[in-house]
Structure 1
């Protein structure tokens, strides 16, 4: 694997360089001349994507490119969508929609239509839809024919609860009103050592109101390797719940096809506090990957900020669900009253139907700041993704406080590392102590709980399990000796851990990946 640096702004700039703006089959309108309604349906959109895949990919022609380049971060922030132009603002109880303006980081034009009673009408791009200061270079746009994306506000128009902006990315404010991690339509060749990742883009949207604040977004995807038709039905219920159906058509062979990808940020947490010079105890949008296998096993994998790009696969045929979770909900563990990491939503993917053989893949990139989205989780089908093939998949995406599945067994709530050995005695060389706090409803000392550890390398000793005094939680500890490992290769240590009584597991399965170089850095930091 190779190291990469992911800056959120630079990432958007790269992702947005791959769209297409073309006359859509069956639905094309003259700009500025009064858009005419035309028939629209989910099957018609599918046919558009299928026909598009049969033609060679056409890179976008960016109108007003030089002017858009001048609309940088500061100029873009000066531009406001006019409230009077908001879609559905006069419909009681309905969500409202406002468009994003294009700019340096959002050059590719995105067409937006509204759908009512099976008829689609385009919302033409127009400078008059926005408040733009007189000295802003955006005033010079005269050829641009598309927006950058759109945002969805609540019925009161007081806050955003969903936004589509950049490539095939979207976000919701989840259960708390706080935006955090992102979803996207498809991942293509993520973290492949042979070449760059490809970012398909949603080139057009058709927006349809549902009951109350519900909104369904239909989207057309295009890229050099794939086209697709997407239907994303969204509603608010103890968070944001989205039912996603995608029909994709491959132009080329894809080495690594990722379904239902999620993107997040992890700088450091309890397991990696020593990796950052920041004053806050923890900084992350998500702190772990959770998987529910077909057999009902619950897997918890705390996230890493690794020394190099890592891509790990977890075999999970007919997976029942996976997601990037934010388990730590205590403000004191972040101490950030500006961005409120403790309020960031978890995102859970629940396949609808059997996705068959495949694996959940976790990609972690090294980062040295919180502005970098360095975590990706996705589902990779086992079958080859070949040119000319067609795929349909559906899933429910829940943006919630906690995973929306029952958890009869205990779960791990904190993972920490420190110097190994026994206090008061000489500390052994290259030995760390792993401390795992966990919940275990109904567990008592009389149950004689045991720590079960399987490791790919290193030696384990000094194992112990005990209740944490004054709480209902438990703590498991074990020393890990990695002195014999080659410091040049920095081969990771993979651990599989669970707590049992007799022959019965009483917790989920904890997976950890440790890097000797980082463990040595931890030990070197002590006085």
Structure 2
């Protein structure tokens, strides 16, 4: 049976460099005995035991020959003897060696018929490509993470579709997709002056699938200096990949920002947003918009940006229905990247399971001039964080997909363009709305653009146009923000006072004079 050789991009090897600096997790050799079948309750018990013991960040030596590998060199090391391959099961697993930025070994075991079994480690399972095999590799080196395979793109051959590697990061791709936006198990204090804390998965349990299975189940144990946790991932591959996440976390100490269901992506430039810095491509980004659905039925679209300084924006919500990082343009001509293929990077949607109550979605945008570094973070912050030692449960479903058509029920912004206006300091914003009820309206319908601004900004002029060939409405407005005071701009389309679209919003800075 043939296996696709999975190649990690430079960016996806580098974007976890901060998490690699936290120290190494200690290597657990003994496996506690549990009565009955192993499941989520046993992982919760281990997370609780970690909480009640002093935190340990014991460093294990990773050979210098592996630590010095560049991302490109590290990507050559491939597991060529997948777990479950010889049994002919629908899912297979391949493992990563520690090395490069990923120098924290993790414990990985399998669950067979409810019982924990070790996964023997052997260097013979790895192909080093064009690299010379170092002679200082210990026979018990262990793993840094894993990926799962399924007959997705080229059945009956197995293809990689999800990868867990570094801190609590994981990413997935459906049919015909290329890795882009990543998810994390948990985030703590992102972009704060005190410094971000990266919780990490220190142990995994892979449930051996039954013949004919269409779902894969993975358990994970989270640890850090401030939080422990138990996770259960139920993963379903296909045209879109869905990952149902169930988690229980325990804070060791209070934190400033507890980040639930964090997403991490990259936005360099596109359509007048972000510094081009001489790059000839029309756009370069994994995601173009943050989309949010509030419990009151309002949908909000916030185009992403690459700001000159760190920028954090919060959106208060009650009982959120979902949020996600969306890639709008799906044409190659929008990016012209033969190697990057941004039109195939998946959108990622977070759908809460149960009532998440009050809180806010927080968007963090970091300045970058490098497409190999993720600079976008979006996550949910609950209004009330648990007390230290208190069990905090939450669940949600992640979906990695290409087709956005069925995501938003209303008319919605499908493109955003920004430019400088004729008045010094003013900006021209252009927003295209389509879909939903707009699809049924004739061009003669008296649709209005409702625009609001704050912090002293002024709407200098506005107009609305209709494109009959592609059936969308275009809003064009010149807005003058106060210098040094960004304005929150909101816009939606209405018909006879009735909202017809979700709300477009953006933090608009004055143009340089």
> What TM-score do you get using the length of structure 1 for normalisation?
0.88
Instruction: Give how far 1:444 is off.
Output: 3.0
Whole-angstrom distance in 2 between the partners of 1:138 and 1:201: 27
1:496 to 490, 494, 512: 490
Deviation at 1:75, TM superposition (A): 4.3
Which stretch of structure 1 is more off in the superposition, 393-402 or 179-188?
393-402
1:132 deviates by 4.0
Equivalent residue number for residue 125 of structure 1: 121
Q: Verify: 1:57 aligned to 2:55, yes or no.
A: yes
1:452 maps onto 2:450 in alignment: yes
Q: Which runs of 5+ in 1 are unaligned?
A: 1-5, 29-35, 421-426
2-structure distance, mates of 1:274, 1:67: 38
Match of 1:27 in 2: 32
Match status 1:17 vs 2:1: no
State the alpha-carbon separation in 2 of the partners of residues 41 and 271 from structure 1: 50
Which residue in the other structure is 1:140 paired with? 136
**333-342 vs 401-410, greater mean Cα deviation:** 401-410
2:313 equivalent in structure 1: 312
Give 1:186's aligned residue: 186
| Distance (Å, rounded) in 2 between the aligned partners of 1:12 and 1:223 | 16
1:263-278 superposed matches below 5 A: 263-272=264-273, 275-278=276-279
Residue of structure 2 in register with 1:438 after alignment: 433
CA contact (8 A) 1:242 1:397 kept: yes
Q: How does 1:224-243 map to 2 (within 5 A)?
A: 224-243=225-244
Counterpart among 70, 86, 90 of residue 90 in structure 1: 86
- Do residues 201 (structure 1) and 195 (structure 2) align? no
Structure 2 contact 183–261 (Cα < 8 Å) conserved: yes
Shift of 1:453: 1.0
Name the residue aligned to 1:164.
Answer: 164
Q: Could you report, residue by residue, the CA deviation over 1:357-378 in whole angstroms, capped at 9, with x for unpaired residues?
A: 1111111100112111000110
Q: CA deviation at 1:137?
A: 5.8
Counterpart of 2:7 in structure 1 is none
Q: How far apart are residue 157 of structure 1 and its match?
A: 4.2
Judged with a 3 Å threshold, the aligned counterparts in structure 2 of structure 1 residues 392 and 24 are, in CA distance, closer, same or farther, namely farther
The whole-number CA distance in structure 1 between the counterparts of 2:366 and 2:272 is: 16
Would you say the 8 A contact 2:11–2:371 is kept in 1?
no
Taking the aligned partners of 1:356 and 1:404, their CA distance within structure 2 comes to 28
Q: Secondary structure of the equivalent of 1:475?
A: strand
User: Quick check: 1:38–1:120 contact (8 Å CA) kept in 2?
Assistant: no
Separation in structure 2 between the aligned mates of residue 319 and residue 25 of structure 1, nearest angstrom: 42
Match of 1:470?
469
Are the equivalent residues in 2 in contact too, given 1:161–1:177 (CA < 8 A)?
no
Q: CA deviation at 1:10?
A: 4.8
Q: Using the alignment, how far apart are the partners of 1:376 and 1:392 within structure 2?
A: 22
Q: Does the C-alpha gap of structure 1 residues 138 and 223 become closer, same or farther in structure 2, counting only changes over 3 Å? A: farther
Q: CA deviation at 1:466?
A: 2.0
- Residue deviations 1:449-483 (CA, integer Å, cap 9, x gap): 1111111132103221121253311111111123x
**Shift in Å at residue 492 of structure 1?**
1.5
Total equivalences in the alignment: 493
2:36, 2:20 → 1: CA distance?
Answer: 28
| Distance of 1:137 and 1:93 partners within structure 2 | 31
SS in 2 for 1:342: helix
- TM-score, normalised by the number of residues in structure 2: 0.90
Say whether the 8 Å CA contact 2:386–2:392 is kept in structure 1: no
Per the alignment, in what secondary structure is the counterpart of residue 428 of structure 2? strand
How far off its partner does 1:61 sit? 2.0
Greater Cα shift, 201-210 or 281-290: 201-210
User: Is the partner of 1:196 in helix, strand or coil?
Assistant: coil
| 1:101 aligns to 2:97 (yes or no) | yes
Query: How do 1:226-375 and structure 2 match up within 5 A?
Result: 226-272=227-273, 275-375=276-376
4+ runs deviating over 6 angstroms: none
Identify the residue that residue 5 of structure 2 maps to in structure 1: none
Match of 1:383 in 2: 384
* Aligned partner of residue 441 in structure 1, secondary structure: helix
Work out whether 1:429 is the aligned partner of 2:433.
no
Question: Does the CA contact (< 8 Å) of 1:289 and 1:324 recur in 2?
Answer: yes
Per the alignment, do residues 46 and 493 of structure 1 end up closer, same or farther by CA in structure 2, a change over 3 Å counting? same
> Shift of residue 314 of structure 1?
0.4
Aligned position for 1:480: 479
CA distance in structure 2 between the aligned counterparts of 1:395 and 1:139, rounded to whole angstroms: 45
1:203 CA drift (Å):
0.8
Q: Are 2:501 and 1:507 aligned?
A: yes
Residue 462 to residue 38, structure 1, CA distance change in 2 (3 Å): same
Could you report, residue by residue, the CA deviation over 1:23-42 in whole angstroms, capped at 9, with x for unpaired residues?
A: 377439xxxxxxx9996222
1:3 alignment partner in structure 2:
none
Q: More displaced, 403-412 or 120-129?
A: 403-412
Confirm or deny: 8 A CA contact 1:208 1:215 kept in the other structure. Answer: yes
Alpha-carbon distance between aligned partners in 1 of 2:267 and 2:128, rounded to the nearest angstrom: 36
Give 3-state SS (helix, strand or coil) of 1:386's partner: coil
Residue 140 of structure 1 aligns to a residue in which SS? coil
Q: CA deviation at 1:150?
A: 0.6
Contact 1:253–1:387 (8 Å) recurs in 2: yes
Question: CA distance change for structure 1 residues 137 and 407 in 2, over 3 Å: closer, same or farther?
Answer: closer
Shift in Å at residue 302 of structure 1? 0.5
Give the match's secondary structure for 2:41. helix
Question: Bigger CA drift: 130-139 or 318-327?
Answer: 130-139
Question: Alignment RMSD, CA only?
Answer: 2.5
Counterpart CA distance in 2 for 1:376 and 1:514 is: 19
Corresponding residue for residue 423 of structure 1: none
Cα distance, 1:126–1:134 mapped onto 2, change above 3 Å: farther
Structure 2: 5+ residue runs without aligned partners?
1-9
* Superposed displacement of residue 78, structure 1: 3.9
